[in-house]
Structure 1
Amino acid sequence: MLKLHDLAYFCSLYRLKTFTAVAKAFNVEQPTVTLAIKRLETSLQATLVFRNRSKGIIQITPAGEILYRHANRMLQDANLAQIEIKQYANHKIRFGLPPIIGSLYFPKIVNEVIQTGLLKNLEIDETGSQQLLNDLLGGKIDIALLATLLPVKNDRIKIDFLGSRNFYIISAVDHWLATKSTVDFQQLKNESFISLNGKFIHEELLRLYSHQAHFKPKVVFETQSISTLKKLVARNAGIGLLVGDAVNQHDQLSLTKIVPALPEKFNISVVTRKNYLPDESEKKFIEKLLLLKQKMA
């Protein structure tokens, strides 16, 4: 039988490449690590590493490569199991909610959530969708409303697609773009950009459009605040790339459609980990989140 501790030592050895470094990382003696690897090799009847004693480094065998792929997932699953078991008696719903979805779409079903009495049980993690996906996979949250550029394909998560929205270039009302209904992204080569940071999918979309147009965007300011982004753009500090629904008539901003447009959109989904077992309260909450599909149609 494979022991989790032995697998942890092996995965660390795979990454660090020396027994000494692994022993130091786990604060154990080097023979402890050596014995762990030998136990794995005996159990699997396969050589996992070749040792170059003169250089003090190791080389992973094909069998070791296979084990690493599976062992890494096993350790992640074991960690998630510990987290979920500890949280099960908590009666809290650990929910990821990106700022744009939180301000524009979640309010559409908040009355239904209130009627269930579950609003008080929510522990909300508010950050961009990119970060929330990592938080979900790492066990920090269990349920999320996420925005993705393309429909997600990930065998570690369960996805219920709700709807999609378009992205636009936003500019001040006195910017030259304000008179344009459409713009080719190549025309923006000399423009200054205000950008949301890497916790949001917007930064990745800006990179994709720039790559297609063969130029590096001149990003003069990055922020994690959508409000700050809009205010700076309204003051003509630069232009931005933003989902259209995030702009309202009070923002003093113009929207310009990108033509030709990439297939990427602001795709909204309810997401949980693939093997996560929601309790009754979480099931009710997910049911209410799924009502957004009708309200976004």
Structure 2
Amino acid sequence: MNTRDLEYFVALCDEKNFSQVAKNFNVTQPTITLALKRLESQFAIQLIDRDQSHGSITITPAGQQLYQRAKVVGKQLSLAQKELRALRHPKIRFGLPPIIGSFYFPKLAPRLVTSGLMPDLETHEAGSTNLLEDLRAGHLDVALLGATGPLAAPDLDVHTVAADPFVAVMPKDHELAKRESISFAELAEEPFVTFSEGYVHTKAMQWFTQAAGIQPSIVYRTPDVALLKSMIHAGVGIGLLATTAVTAADDLALVPLSESGQPRFSISVVTRRGQVLTPTMTELMKLLNQHA
């Protein structure tokens, strides 16, 4: 079977117009027609019903079934192409979110240097949500990702290596800084500084606001964890951060949150399920998991 025929067919189901599909692929309309005929002959069933009098087409039930499967085939072939190209690439494309890169990864770095793996890494930095999309799309080989709890999906191989609580972070002279714990509802009137969209902390913030039934004022958003903590220290607003992200040098107060069932900031080594790892990737995965 010609895989290009399936590409034409999927596009035809989307566009429902032979001429438009031909234009999109820069081929003639008879090319699309012949591709459809080959598929209908291959499966011995009608896939498209053409209404010549009105110039419209209808996807038959059989065509709808093939369309659903062909989309999956197309995605898998596209992913395979990217993975094969990556095998010609000398470095491991490694996804690393800012907080994990700043506060967790440095603990691993000496072992990476000792093992000789550090020069093999091509680091890509972004929020965990965006990095996960890039991993699934085949733009990354391995990622060290954060999530609000264990990360699980049928298309991923996930190995959790750490899990830390989220806490309210504020200046040490804040009136609530001496509390042993606090409910998020008590922070309803407090201004917040937080991460931009696409970061795990944004999802954690949504969980706490929904659990507390409040909508606090967010006065500043940033993708930069150092800037965010500087804003907290300056009294612009309080923050919600995983304990991993705060060090003694930040001179900030960390107050535990009392909500039951709250999420934790989990850190996981993630690859695509079915992905064939090179010896270098396998060595990297072993080192990352040993550090758990």
- Give the TM-score normalised by the residue count of structure 1: 0.87
User: 1:53 deviation in Å?
Assistant: 6.7
Q: Counterpart in 2 of 1:162?
A: 161
In 2, the alpha carbon distance for the partners of 1:17 and 1:185 equals: 52
SS at match of 1:238: coil
Letter in 2 for 1:286: M
User: 1:225 deviation in Å?
Assistant: 0.8
- Give the TM-score normalised by the residue count of structure 2: 0.88
User: 1:57 deviation in Å?
Assistant: 5.9
Q: Counterpart in 2 of 1:119?
A: 118
Q: Counterpart in 1 of 2:283?
A: 284
In 1, the alpha carbon distance for the partners of 2:50 and 2:257 equals: 56
In 2, the alpha carbon distance for the partners of 1:280 and 1:68 equals: 37
Residues 1-12 of structure 1: pairs in structure 2 closer than 5 A: 1=1, 3-12=2-11
**Alpha carbons 1:171, 1:238 under 8 Å: kept:** yes
Q: Structure 1 regions of 5+ residues with no counterpart?
A: none
Letter in 1 for 2:255: T
Letter in 2 for 1:106: F
Among all aligned residue pairs of Structure 1 and Structure 2, give the percentage whose two residues are the same amino acid: 37
Q: Deviations over 1:110-141 (max 9, x none)?
A: 22211221211111111111111111111111
**Alpha carbons 2:208, 2:262 under 8 Å: kept:** no
SS at match of 1:180: coil
Aligned-CA RMSD value: 2.5
Q: Counterpart in 2 of 1:251?
A: 250
In 2, the alpha carbon distance for the partners of 1:68 and 1:171 equals: 53
**Alpha carbons 1:181, 1:255 under 8 Å: kept:** no
- Say whether 1:203 aligns with 2:211: no
In 2, the alpha carbon distance for the partners of 1:59 and 1:237 equals: 59
In 1, the alpha carbon distance for the partners of 2:157 and 2:52 equals: 46
Structure number with bigger Rg: 2
In 1, the alpha carbon distance for the partners of 2:27 and 2:246 equals: 56
In 2, the alpha carbon distance for the partners of 1:258 and 1:174 equals: 18
Q: Deviations over 1:166-188 (max 9, x none)?
A: 11121222333323332222223
User: 1:30 deviation in Å?
Assistant: 4.1
Q: Counterpart in 1 of 2:240?
A: 241
In 1, the alpha carbon distance for the partners of 2:174 and 2:215 equals: 21
- Comparing 205-214 with 277-286, greater Cα deviation is found at 205-214
In 1, the alpha carbon distance for the partners of 2:14 and 2:184 equals: 41
- Say whether 1:229 aligns with 2:218: no
Instruction: Number of aligned residue pairs: give it.
Output: 292
SS at match of 2:281: helix
User: 1:262 deviation in Å?
Assistant: 3.7
**Alpha carbons 2:144, 2:268 under 8 Å: kept:** yes
User: 1:21 deviation in Å?
Assistant: 4.3
- Comparing 221-230 with 71-80, greater Cα deviation is found at 71-80
- Say whether 1:96 aligns with 2:95: yes
In 2, the alpha carbon distance for the partners of 1:104 and 1:265 equals: 16
Q: Counterpart in 2 of 1:264?
A: 263
SS at match of 2:89: coil
SS at match of 1:111: helix
User: 1:28 deviation in Å?
Assistant: 3.6
SS at match of 1:176: coil
User: 1:82 deviation in Å?
Assistant: 1.7
In 2, the alpha carbon distance for the partners of 1:42 and 1:210 equals: 57
User: 1:142 deviation in Å?
Assistant: 0.6
User: 1:198 deviation in Å?
Assistant: 2.2
Q: Deviations over 1:140-172 (max 9, x none)?
A: 111111111132221211111212111112122
> Alpha carbons of 1:278 and 1:188: their partners in 2 closer, same or farther (altered >3 Å)?
same
SS at match of 2:221: strand
> Alpha carbons of 1:59 and 1:183: their partners in 2 closer, same or farther (altered >3 Å)?
farther
Letter in 1 for 2:254: L
> Alpha carbons of 1:27 and 1:249: their partners in 2 closer, same or farther (altered >3 Å)?
same
In 2, the alpha carbon distance for the partners of 1:243 and 1:30 equals: 57
Q: Counterpart in 1 of 2:65?
A: 66
